[in-house]
Amino acid sequence: MDLTSFEETRVNEPDVGDKKKWLKEGIDCNLLSWKGKIIDLELPITVQLTVVDVDPGVKGDTASGGGSKPATVDTGAIVSVPLFVNIGDEILVDTRTGQYLSRA
């Protein structure tokens, strides 16, 4: 939705491309259009996502442990996270690289 005119714009999945894995309802994005066609979507640099599936942490895992494991977030993307991250944790992810930044 255009925050000035409140006009809604529909974007097709092919126009979004690989960026769809970082999209959640309520995220502000900038659309770049040319001759009335959406040609790019600019996401925020970081997004807050919820971990919905990850192997459980092992007692003794710490922030400085150095290991990582794959986690599925609520948008369906898979992010490599530290060993101490669990299901239900809110994490910050860099949308440019797909890397875990921190717990929120």
Q: Parse the chain into domains and list their residue ranges.
A: 46-103
The Cα 86–Cα 59 span in angstroms is: 12
The CATH H-level (homologous superfamily) assignment of domain 46-103 is Nucleic acid-binding proteins (2.40.50.140)
Answer yes or no: are the C-beta atoms of 47 and 74 closer than 8 Å: no
Give me the count of residues in the chain.
104
Q: What does the pLDDT look like over 34-57, one tens digit per residue?
A: 887 888 889 999 999 999 999 886
Q: Which amino acid is at 24?
A: K
Which residue reads 């860099």 in tokens? Answer: 94
What pLDDT score was predicted for residue 18?
87
More confident residue, 94 or 30: 94
4-9: long-range contacts, CB 8 A cutoff, minimum separation 24: 9/38
The CA-CA-CA angle for residues 19, 44, 36, to 5°, reads 65
Q: With cut-offs at 50, 70 and 90, classify the pLDDT of residue 76.
A: very high
